[in-house]
Copies of this chain bind each other. A is one copy, B any other.
Amino acid sequence: MTESSALTLSGLNVGWIGTGVMGLSMAKRLQKERVNLFVHNRTKEKARDLLNEGAVWVDRPCDLIEKVNIVFMMVGLPEDVHSCIFGGHGFLQSEKELSGKVVVDMTTSSPSLALKVGGMLGQRGALSLDAPVSGGDIGAVNGTLSIMVGGDEAAFHKLRYFWEILGKTIVYHGSYGLGQHAKMVNQTLIATNMIGVSEALLYAYKVGMDPWKVLESVESGAAASWSLSQLGRRILKKDFTPGFYVDHFIKDMGIALEEAKKMDLGLPGLSLAHQLYLALKDQGGGQLGTQALYKALERINNISS
């Protein structure tokens, strides 16, 4: 782990907002490296582990940003990001000096919002980065996330110490919103591939084949994918518990399709995935894992397994 001298000079007091599945694991990694955390979350109880280890609770984002020079956010939805920054208790409500502070939003959120955040915080002299991640809860725990960064380039370099605690593949993509756009590319890939994983396993089921043997045949060649090996396995075990929630995935696909629409870009595969996941949500699957797409395709085909 390399240390940035700039950071050592300014001290390692850091703000953290959002202690859900991902955020909590990530914040714990920082805490383990002796970073002093000032924490806020909608539900205080979910930050308990961090508080027990010495993190300081702060009631409102506008107070939190006054106490630190760097704030990480990992909340659920773009609305939550919006509220933390522009809301009644948001960062911008602080009357203190914000100049030089860095706000890092690691939530998967909209590129347009990242642009707005960059502009509005910039007016107060603060720097911002959009830095969504991929790699799931396991990646968050192990610090092997892929972190896709957009926004102020100097701030990106300044935070190298933190990136290396949290992730393995760290790429700076350019100005505000491009981290989010990279994440949309990521979600487009996963969404469309999940249709294939679901349909392929359903085909094998319908033929009456041993699905485990089929998986063995196809997972190491040209059909190989992370989703097939990881989520395909869960489908075969009928394990539809969430690694990543259908509800959140639908949010992400909605953002990608919205951005594509703004660019007059037609994405038929992503659109189909979005529709199928909406059907799954309608069937009550919003809180299942994304591999539950298989269930939606079973339903369409009147299969009950």
A residues near B (Cβ < 8 Å) are 111, 134-136, 139, 145-146, 148, 168-169, 171-174, 178, 181-182, 184-193, 195-204, 206-207, 209-210, 213-214, 216-218, 220-228, 230, 244, 256, 259-260, 263-270, 272-273, 276, 300-301
Which residues of B sit under 8 angstroms from A222, Cβ to Cβ?
134-136, 186, 190, 226-227, 230, 244
Chain copies in the assembled complex: 2
CA distance A265 to B300 in the complex (A): 9
Which residue of A191, A227, A300 has the most chain B CB atoms within 10 A of its CB atom? A227
Quick check: B186 and A217 within 8 Å, CB to CB? yes
Quick check: B185 and A139 within 8 Å, CB to CB? no
Mostly helix, strand, loop or mixed at chain A's interface? helix
Quick check: A193 and B190 within 8 Å, CB to CB? no
CA distance A272 to B267 in the complex (A): 11
Which residue of A182, A222, A267 has the most chain B CB atoms within 10 A of its CB atom? A222
Which residues of B sit under 8 angstroms from A134, Cβ to Cβ?
217-218, 221-223
Q: With contacts A169-B217, A173-B213, A222-B134 known, is A197 near B189, CB below 8 A? A: yes
